[in-house]
Chains A and B, each alone.
Chain A
Amino acid sequence: MSRLNRGIGSLLMDYAVPLIFIVISAAAIPLSGFSAAYLVQELLIRVGRNSFLILSLLIPIMAGMGLNFGMVLGAMAGQIGLIFVSDWSIVGIPGIVLAMIVGTPFAVVLGVLCGEVLNRARGQEMVTSYILGFFINGVYQLLVLYFMGWLIPISNPALVLSRGYGIRNAISLTGIRMVLDRLVPLKIGTISVPVATYLVIAAFCFFIVWFRRTKLGQDMRAIGQDMPVADSAGIPVNRTRVIAIVISTVLACYGQIIFLQNMGTLNTYNSHDQAGMFSIAALLIGGASVSRAGIGNVFLGVTLFHLMFIVAPMAGKNLMGQAQIGEYFRVFVSYGIIAIALVLHAWKRFRDRMEARRSLRGPAERREGA
């Protein structure tokens, strides 16, 4: 009896977060007064824009390294690629591909750095990668704000601050704006579908499915579940963990480029900041946990997350006469959801340990209960 209750209880616990979001969205959609076509169009754009970034989080989770707050490192690498491509005025798909090619070595180096640091901070991966993000942000600012236009030649004056060096706050990415989204034009009724973006995302999903079936993927799963056992079986634990972070960082770099080609402007000093936080929040909303996440969680999460953000400001305005309430809600929810996920994770681990130990107790407990 208690076993069944526990089963239902833990099932509810596992899906509590998505359920809450579904309920809130269901209430907010009619309040917002948006049409179905508008909602679908908005969702298609935003899901296409964000999914790649969120998918890049999956592999470190598989390797037991938790939520990779260090993905902002990849985002910065992507932005560096975009700045160069803008400077060289290379437009269209070649511009995007070149930005990726330029960003990749930065992402690999940052990924190796991050992986090596995390190997020295086992069990504290999340907070370490989070703080590492701040640190590398400083290096990024040094590079972009002081070195570019001074040590690193930037020829396009539109990119450079009026003082002669440093990149401007906002860069318009007109040359590559939505080129991927509009590569394969498709309109269903009034709704336009960014086919090519979704094809890239689908390819990424296939990559993940394939990767899980490889020996490397199997090793990562083993390390994620029990590092000492994996180590004693001869799996190169440290190297594998670095590989996981490098893959994640490189993919986050590509994800950020796809994200920014849709947005059309690069906020040089802010864009990457939010990439990590919002991607992680979206993944958690999809029912993922610190130790378990799948492709399904990514799409459920990104859909619910954006649905909420589309309808919440309008619902807030209609309900209370203020649109800011929705914006407030967005930030509040992102941080709140991450906090809840971390607490839930700790609590669940504690509960599992208690459960495991309960089975060791002998007849005395039963006698006591009777």
Chain B
Amino acid sequence: MPEVPLLKLENVGKEYFGNRVLAKVDFSLNRGEILGLVGENGAGKSTLMNILFGMPVISGTGGYEGNIVLDGRVVRFNSPFDALEAGIGMVHQEFSLIPGFSAAENILLNREALNGSILELVFSERLNTLDRPAMRRRAARAIQTLGVDIGVDTIASEMPVGYKQFIEIAREIDRTRTRLLVLDEPTAVLTETEARILLDALRKLADGGISIIFISHRLQEVKSLCDKIVVLRDGNVIREESARSASIRDIAAWMVGRQVDDSRPPRTGKVSDEVALSVRNLWVDMPGETVRDATFDVHRGEIFGIGGLAGQGKLGIPNGIMGLSPSGGEVALFGKKIELDTPRKALDSGMAFVSEDRRGVGLLLSERIDWNIAFTGMQVQNRFLRGIPGLGNLVRIRDDAAIAEETERYIRALEIRCTGPGQRAVELSGGNQQKICLAKAFSMRPELLLICEPTRGIDVGARELVLNTLRRYNEEYGTTILITSSELEELRSVCDRVAIVGEGKIAGILPATSPAERFGLLMMGAVGDGDEAAQREAAGNA
């Protein structure tokens, strides 16, 4: 008689506002089995986990299609607490520990052992005192199951990052009902030794009968730990394979393997040998996008792409160079050193910036289109200003005619859909807002243009236009462009070279024409983790 799988997903799908993010996801997981779930950012992993965990974001946007079958019974969770009740434990990417609490207090958070008292009858259980010895015993038992040695009285804020991860897992283990454990990037913050201990601990848990879904970008770990691997791409299950039979190279190819759009004409811009931007040992304190040690050169006239997974630091690089986040290291533009931490110096030196945070940093949302376009030029380059006759340049006022002319030009060139230069930026669609950001940057006539996530949140038509505009601008004026994007395909289609950022460092730089799987391998941190063939290859290309 075949075993009933612990978890079975049948045709699970999800649409957000008409935008399909998951389609017909099918897989099953047996008791004591470890399933590795891999995929690029945006492949649908987090949506899938949100569905499984009953997150309010799912029910709040119209629920999902298909069925989740737990232990042979169809379940539909309305809140994470339902999922917990059913025995699904989740360890998130961000730590959810109370900093001033001890390991024991954190493991038993809101499930503390209590002493009975008469007050409980009069008021509520919450007036019972904590049974600290019992709490410590239970915490110690949970920690022991993991095979690590952490004192139950250690305060969370004083723990090394690795320990925090173990404490979170111990919290799930202490729930006696936990049958399925979901771990989202558990090793991302761990050192190699810690990661190995964690993997051993997970294997032990699985042998004890707990099933595990392991989400990771480190394919090496996925392959060595998991029993089977499910690859998601664009919301579809691309492959369900036994971990033993799949090679890392295959998995990487399945993850990124998309047909490249070759419709764009070949590059005509000239790239000289002269170094336009040189970055040496850059570190940037951008929350969530920390850059640890980045070194690279961009040549004059080049379109240089920076890619990598979210949170690895790719956005930190341009934000650091522009002085928007605390940073250090050496950045030089055409041999001239740029003073970091002061956006004005960066602008003065001939750089222009299009932020990934269009609505926050990029635009003055409640202002008119023309003012948005002219603002930086006015502020930094004294353009669009004229003196009052007779006073020379003592007092200068806005030159509305010049602004109007410039704005009209860009509205035509970039096909900005608006009622006119006087419309407020907030009323435009995302794509048109992005075009205004570009116009603002172009009107600075920069030598180096830094663009973050140029096509984030805009529709397909606008996206082509934005990318083609960048291409054209580069070819017409010879402007050096640095594009940071999460869309690898987009980078490969417009750039000359693409750098992949991993863990705050440049993992490798490849010509845009390299095959997708090589980029995939760089992204998944396969280089340096032992896959020698890939390492040799990447070294040969760098």
Contacts and interface: CB of A to CB of B under 8 A. Distances in A.
A219 B126 contact: yes
Q: Which of B112, B127, B129 has the most CB of A within 10 A?
A: B129
Contact of A368 (B81, B110, B329): B329
A189 interface: no
Interface stretch (A45-53, A223-231, A322-330): A223-231
A233 interface: yes
Contacts of B101: 221-222, 225
A233 B110 contact: yes
B285 interface: yes
A215 B328 contact: no
B328 A365 contact: yes
Contact of B328 (A216, A225, A364): A364
B208 interface: no
Contacts of B127: 214-216
Given A225-B99, A361-B292, A216 B126 contact: yes
A234 B292 CA distance: 36
A229 B125 CA distance: 21
Contacts of B287: 357
Contacts of A5: none
Q: Which of B105, B109, B126 has the most CB of A within 10 A?
A: B126
B290 A215 contact: no
Contacts of B332: none
A244 to B, nearest CB: 12
Contacts of A221: 98, 100-101
Nearest to A215: B126
A218 interface: yes
Given A216-B126, A368-B328, A361 B110 contact: no
Nearest to A228: B96
Contacts of B126: 214-216, 219
B539 to A, nearest CB: 20
A187 interface: no
A215 B285 CA distance: 38
A222 B109 contact: yes
A6 interface: no
Interface residues of B, number: 33
Nearest to B189: A360
A9 interface: no
A214 B293 CA distance: 48
Interface string A333-370: 00000000000000000000000011011111101100
B178 interface: no
A196 interface: no
Contact of A225 (B98, B290, B293, B329): B98
A223 to B, nearest CB: 9
Given A362-B293, A362-B505, A364-B282, A229 B98 contact: yes
B114 interface: yes
Given A214-B130, A360-B285, A232 B80 contact: yes
A364 B292 contact: yes
A90 to B, nearest CB: 29
Contact of B109 (A214, A233, A360): A233
A235 interface: yes
B281 interface: yes
B311 to A, nearest CB: 12
* Secondary structure type dominating chain B contacts: mixed
A361 B294 CA distance: 12
Contact of A219 (B81, B110, B293, B504): B110
A230 B96 CA distance: 9
A210 interface: yes
Interface in B80-96: 80-81, 96
A218 B292 contact: no
A163 interface: no
A215 B98 contact: no
Contacts of A218: 105, 112, 130
Interface string B99-132: 1110001000110101000000000011111100
Contacts of A357: 285, 287, 290
B384 interface: no
B283 A214 contact: no
Q: Which of B283, B287, B328 has the most CB of A within 10 A?
A: B283
Contacts of B283: 361-362, 364-365, 368
A284 B439 CA distance: 53
Nearest to A357: B285
Contacts of B293: 362-364, 367
A225 B100 contact: yes
B80 A362 contact: no
B285 A235 contact: no
A361 B100 contact: no
A213 interface: yes
A226 B109 CA distance: 12
A64 to B, nearest CB: 11
B97 interface: yes
Contact of B290 (A216, A230, A361): A361
Nearest to B114: A215
B111 to A, nearest CB: 8
Interface string B413-439: 000000000000000000000000000
Nearest to A234: B110
B129 A214 contact: yes
Contacts of B80: 232
Contacts of B128: 214-215
Given A215-B130, A216-B127, A218-B112, A234 B81 contact: yes
Contacts of B110: 219, 222, 230, 233-235
A234 B81 CA distance: 8
A80 to B, nearest CB: 26
Interface string B127-162: 111100000000000000000000000000000000
Contacts of B285: 357-358, 360-361
Contacts of A213: 129-130
A365 B330 CA distance: 11
Contacts of A225: 98-101
A348 to B, nearest CB: 14
Given A361-B283, A362-B293, A215 B112 contact: yes
Interface string A50-70: 000000000000000000000
Contacts of A222: 98, 101, 109-110
A118 B286 CA distance: 32
Contacts of A216: 126-127
A232 B172 CA distance: 13
Contacts of B99: 225-226
A250 to B, nearest CB: 14
Contacts of B130: 213-215, 218
Contact of B98 (A230, A361, A362, A367): A230
Given A226-B97, A233-B110, A361-B292, 12 more contacts: A214-B127, A214-B128, A215-B114, A215-B127, A218-B105, A229-B96, A234-B81, A360-B292, A364-B294, A365-B283, A368-B328, A368-B329
22 contacts: A213-B130, A214-B128, A215-B112, A215-B125, A216-B126, A219-B110, A225-B101, A226-B96, A226-B98, A228-B96, A229-B96, A230-B98, A235-B110, A360-B292, A362-B283, A362-B504, A363-B293, A364-B282, A364-B293, A364-B328, A367-B281, A368-B328
Q: Identify the 9 closest CB pairs spanning chains A and B, nearest first.
A: A362-B292, A364-B293, A216-B126, A364-B281, A364-B283, A233-B110, A213-B129, A215-B126, A229-B96
